[in-house]
Every structure is written in structure tokens, then in C-alpha cells.
Amino acid sequence: MIRAHSLLRHREGLAAWSMVAPALLVTMVFAVYPVLDSLWLSLHHIFVGIPQLGSPFVGLDNYVALFHDPVARQALVVTLAFVLLSTLLELACGLIIALVIHERFRGRGLVRAAILIPWAIPTVVASQLWRYIFNDQYGFANLLLFGDRVTDYVPWLAYPGVAFAVVVLTDVWKTSSFAALLILAGLQVIPHDLYDAARVDGARMWQRFWHITLPLLKPALLLALLFRTMDAFRVFDLVFVMTQGGPGDATQTLQFYGYQTLFTEGRIGYGSAISVAVFLMILALSLTYLRAMGSNLLERRRP
């Protein structure tokens, strides 16, 4: 009997591994291998177009150079500022949108579908759209402010602060609906009985939101924060299409700096070091968020 049970468990284990194996293989080929290959490349000096230099092993020299690189430090500051501003604004806008579309009203399904349109638009298309809006010659922003007075047109993307704000605004416009979708899922699992009991006790709308909605939304908010932080740290296409990192280095993020180093300058080793550094920062943030989410779930399960 025991032997038959053990054999059954062994067969179930083999069946489970056979089902998971294709997904593991795809993950290894398209996720793990590129990371390991980038790590290996980052330990060498490799220059495209100069084969006579070879690819000498230099250990951590690229990372030491990255630590002392003023352009990389500026790109890191821009990246952190972008992550902080865009993530906070997206969570705030997503929370407001989720609270609105969670209520019952006529045409709610149509409104929910319309809200998801910006997120469904490809990022390159959305970037080009906002680039046209703030174009200094034929952009809608200048037309809205100055009409046909061509001499009064403002070169919005030529000012460092304005260019950075436009990139943040574009990201917030596009991805707030994604955060709203995650938060809406959290709202829908909150029992209505809690709100009914709070109304009976005389709690006002703000008190119900602060003491019931927000505490029970913590897992959904943390999940939205995790996804949006990871995405914001990897921002590239917005910068590539809208500003090319300019004016100056006002919108140059680490990802875009790594792209320029790899494909424009041909410094494969140093560019790979930038990519690995970005990966490690995202990994550290993700583990921090996941630990916070785990702690929050444990607190909710305690009697």
C-alpha cells in the first residue's frame, strides 16, 4: 500500500515537471541566459569595430568605471526622479480612476473600456503622439495657447525641466489605467458588509475610505507599485522617441545611456555593465516590495 502510494506520488511529480518543463526552458533561454551573458560581457573590455584589441578579461573594472562616471550618476538621478514621480502620480491617478469605475452607474462598462485605451496604445505610438503635441512648430499645445501667432510658439522640449515633465506626463497618461486595473481588482474583493456596518456606526465617506478601503487595498497597491516601479526603471522607448535624452542630459535615463554606450559608441563591456547594474537595482527593489507584500498578507491572516 505504502509502495503504491509512493509510486503514485512519483508519477504525479514527473507529470508536474513535464508540464512545467517547457515554461522553464523558455525562461532559461530568453531570460536567464541573456542576464548571465550580459554579466559575462560586463567583465571584459569589448569594442565593436576594433577587433585587434580582442576582449581581455578585466574583472570589475567596468563597474568601478561606472561608479566614477559622472554621466552615469546624472542618468541615475534622472532615472530615480522619473521612477519616483511617475510611480506616485500613476498610483494616485489609478486609485482615483479605480474608485470611480468601481461605483455603479449607467455606461460603466463603456467607461472601463475607454480608460484602458491609453494602456493599449503601443508606447512608441503614444510617445510620438505626445511629441507632436509639444512640437514647437505645429504642436497642439502651442496652438491651444497662442493660436495662429507663430512668433509666440514655445519650444517646449528644448527646456530641460519641461522636457522631463513631458516625459513623466506621457508615462502617467499611458499607464495610470494599468495601475487602476490592479487597484480595481483589490476593490472588488472588499466585502460590502464592512461599509454597511460603518454606515450604521455613523462613519462618513472619508472615514470609510481611510479606515476600510485603504488598509484592505494595501496588497493591490503594493502590487501596482511593484509593476510600475519595475517598468519605470526600464524606461527607454519614451526617451528614445521623444527627446533622445536631451536637452543636454535632462531626460537621459540609465537604460538609454546603456543603449547609447552599447550601440552608438560600441563599448559592449561597459554597456553590459550598465545593463547589469540596472537589473540588480530592479531586483533589489522587487525583493523589497515582495517582502513587504508578504508581511502585509501575514498580518491580515493573523486572528
The answer to whether residue 120 sits within a structural domain is yes
Angle separating helix axes 160-187 and 123-133, nearest 10 degrees: 130
Same-domain check for residues 18 and 155 = no
DSSP 264: I
Check whether 24 has a pLDDT greater than 80. Answer: yes
Same-domain check for residues 86 and 3 = no
Region 125-143: mean pLDDT is 88
Q: In terms of pLDDT, which residue wins out, 70 or 153?
A: 70
Structural domain including 133 reads 42-301
Distance CA 283, CA 296 (A): 20
Q: Cell 454597511: give the residue.
A: 196
Distances 18 to 9, 14, 25, 76, 203 between C-alpha atoms, Å: 14, 6, 11, 43, 54
The answer to whether residue 37 sits within a structural domain is no
| pLDDT the model gives residue 202 | 84
| pLDDT tens string 28-53 | 888 888 888 889 989 988 887 666 56
Same-domain check for residues 199 and 95 = yes
124 phi-psi bin (left φ>0, alpha ψ -120 to 50, beta other): alpha
| pLDDT the model gives residue 271 | 92
Same-domain check for residues 50 and 96 = yes
Same-domain check for residues 158 and 275 = yes
| pLDDT the model gives residue 165 | 94
Q: How many residues does the chain have?
A: 303
Check whether 1 has a pLDDT greater than 60. Answer: no
Distance CA 213, CA 217 (A): 6
Check whether 303 has a pLDDT greater than 80. Answer: no
Number of domains in the chain: 2
**67 near 238, Cβ under 8 Å?**
no
| pLDDT the model gives residue 3 | 64
The answer to whether residue 35 sits within a structural domain is no
The answer to whether residue 36 sits within a structural domain is no
Same-domain check for residues 146 and 15 = no
pTM beyond cutoff 0.85? yes
The answer to whether residue 250 sits within a structural domain is yes
User: Percent of the chain, pLDDT > 70?
Assistant: 91
Check whether 290 has a pLDDT greater than 70. Answer: yes
C-alpha cell at 279: 537589473
Same-domain check for residues 18 and 78 = no
Same-domain check for residues 108 and 17 = no
| pLDDT tens string 234-262 | 899 999 999 999 888 899 999 999 999 98
Residue 231, domain CATH: 1.10.3720.10
The answer to whether residue 221 sits within a structural domain is yes
3-state DSSP assignment of residue 303: coil
3-state DSSP assignment of residue 267: strand
Q: In terms of pLDDT, which residue wins out, 296 or 226?
A: 226
Q: Look at residues 75, 96, 57 and name the one whose alpha carbon lies nearest to residue 187.
A: 96
| pLDDT tens string 156-173 | 888 999 999 999 999 999
**158 near 139, Cβ under 8 Å?**
no
Same-domain check for residues 84 and 117 = yes
DSSP run (H or E) holding 64:
helix 61-67
Check whether 301 has a pLDDT greater than 60. Answer: no
**What is the sign of the dihedral through the CA atoms of 38, 40, 44 and 47?**
negative
**What is the sign of the dihedral through the CA atoms of 209, 212, 215 and 218?**
negative
Same-domain check for residues 13 and 116 = no
Same-domain check for residues 167 and 80 = yes
Q: Give the amino acid at 201.
A: D
The answer to whether residue 144 sits within a structural domain is yes
Same-domain check for residues 23 and 81 = no
User: Percent of the chain, pLDDT > 90?
Assistant: 35
The answer to whether residue 90 sits within a structural domain is yes
| pLDDT the model gives residue 87 | 94
Region 191-217: mean pLDDT is 86
Distance CA 174, CA 169 (A): 9
